[in-house]
Amino acid sequence: MILKDILAISGEPGLFKFIAQGKNAIIVEHLETKKRSSSYGSAKVSSLEDIAIFTEKEDVPLGKVFDLIHDKENGGPAIDSKSDAGKLKTWFEVLLPDYSKDKVYVSDIKKVAQWYNILHNLGLLVKEETEAIAGKEPEQVSKTEKASAVTEKKKKKASPKPKAK
């Protein structure tokens, strides 16, 4: 899943979209209410792209966890984040059997389910574009192919409309 520019701010409910960088703060927009606000340096801001879940072997990026949830739930919503702890642990263990039970708390599982459901309800769960480039698997796509695909998209958006005479 593409989680770029989606942020979680400690002490604030919900998820936010990065809008701009100011001098002393960043401008964010709440995904559900669409209200814009400033988040100052004193707030702990985390990009969902940088968050990972601890497992016994290696950390799994949150985007991959969201992919697993999407596949498990057949594109539907995840378990309700307000479910009891036993149900949440069982659901997450089926999803990611080797997650670290010592490091991943029930509150973390609740956040994952809540964030997934927010993104699902808003239609923001998008698979990575690299899968669509030339029908190749993501591992087979070179950096230059990715860059050229992005450049092509920008050119299409930026191309001026012909002037009427």
Residues 59-118 pLDDT 10s? 999 999 999 999 998 888 999 999 999 999 999 999 999 999 999 999 999 999 999 999
What H or E segment, with its residue span, contains residue 65? Answer: helix 62-72
Binned at pLDDT 50, 70 and 90, residue 164 comes out as: low
Q: Which domain holds residue 10?
A: 6-48
Cross-strand bridge partners of residue 20: 27
Q: What is the CATH number of the domain that holds 55?
A: 1.10.10.1650
pLDDT in tens, 3-60: 889 999 998 999 999 999 988 899 999 999 999 999 988 889 999 999 999 999 999 9
| Spatial CB neighbours of 163, under 8 Å, sequence gap ≥ 6 | none
Q: Tell me the HSE value of 24 on the side-chain side, using a 13 A CA sphere.
A: 2
Last residue of a domain, one of 106, 121, 136: 121
Q: What is the CATH number of the domain that holds 15?
A: 2.30.30
Q: Are 91 and 45 in contact (CB under 8 A)?
A: no
With respect to residue 103, please indicate whether it lies within any of the assigned structural domains. Answer: yes
> Are 27 and 65 part of one and the same domain?
no
Last residue of a domain, one of 82, 104, 121: 121
> Are 55 and 38 part of one and the same domain?
no
With respect to residue 134, please indicate whether it lies within any of the assigned structural domains. Answer: no
> Are 56 and 117 part of one and the same domain?
yes
With respect to residue 110, please indicate whether it lies within any of the assigned structural domains. Answer: yes
Q: Are 15 and 119 in contact (CB under 8 A)?
A: yes
Domains contained in the chain, number? 2
> Are 97 and 37 part of one and the same domain?
no
| Spatial CB neighbours of 92, under 8 Å, sequence gap ≥ 6 | 99, 104, 109, 112
Whether the predicted pLDDT of 152 surpasses 90: no
With respect to residue 106, please indicate whether it lies within any of the assigned structural domains. Answer: yes
